[in-house]
Amino acid sequence: GSTSVPGLCAKPIIDILLVVKNSAEESAYVPALEAAGYKLRVREPEWYQHRMFKGPDTDINLHVFSEEASEVDRMLRFRDWLRLNESDRDKYARVKRSLAKNKWRHVQHYADAKTSIVQEIMERAMKQKRTITREEILWE
């Protein structure tokens, strides 16, 4: 999420990305997350087997994907590109600020309204080689 990009305006919500072997096999990770206070709120088997949990602090969204989901690479590329590219970071921030002035009935409508700027930036980000850093690997 935007909170992972220094200097980028963000809603006061922290989005965390958790990658597991197979997100469809909920018994492998849901009990541990529930024990830590997370509650499963969204199950989207049609979209990369995505799961979303609300944290014990309701300002935390924990997104779970399988390790082979291409969406993981896309999300991390977007984050990395915005960290490195001030011009695109500023452009994205301007769009976010403009959209934030609207009253959105559902937060997904706000996210959908950002689609064109995200796609524009992703076209540039996808041209760059991405390597996973040691800090991104929590266990092997």
Q: 74 and 61 share a domain?
A: no
Q: 15-19, 65-69, 132-136: which has the minimum mean pLDDT?
A: 132-136
CB contact at 8 A, 71 and 25: no
Residues 6+ apart with CB under 8 A from 67: 19, 20, 21, 22
Q: How many domains, in total, are found in the chain?
A: 2
In a shared domain, residues 21 and 48: yes
Q: Which domain holds residue 97?
A: 70-129
Specify whether 58 is located in the same domain as 89: no
Same domain, yes or no: 122 and 74: yes
Q: Does 137 have pLDDT greater than 70?
A: no
pTM of the model: 0.84
Q: Are residues 55 and 89 in the same domain?
A: no
Using DSSP's 3-state secondary structure scheme, residue 105 falls into coil
* 19 shares its domain with 40: yes
| pLDDT of residue 19 exceeding 90 | yes
The 10s digit of each residue's pLDDT in 36-92 is: 999 999 999 999 999 999 999 889 999 999 999 999 999 999 999 999 999 999 999
- Tell me, yes or no, whether 125 and 74 share the same domain: yes
CATH number at residue 22: 3.30.720
**In whole angstroms, what is the distance from residue 19 CA to residue 39 CA?**
17
Residues 55, 101, single domain; the answer is: no
pLDDT in the model for residue 127: 85
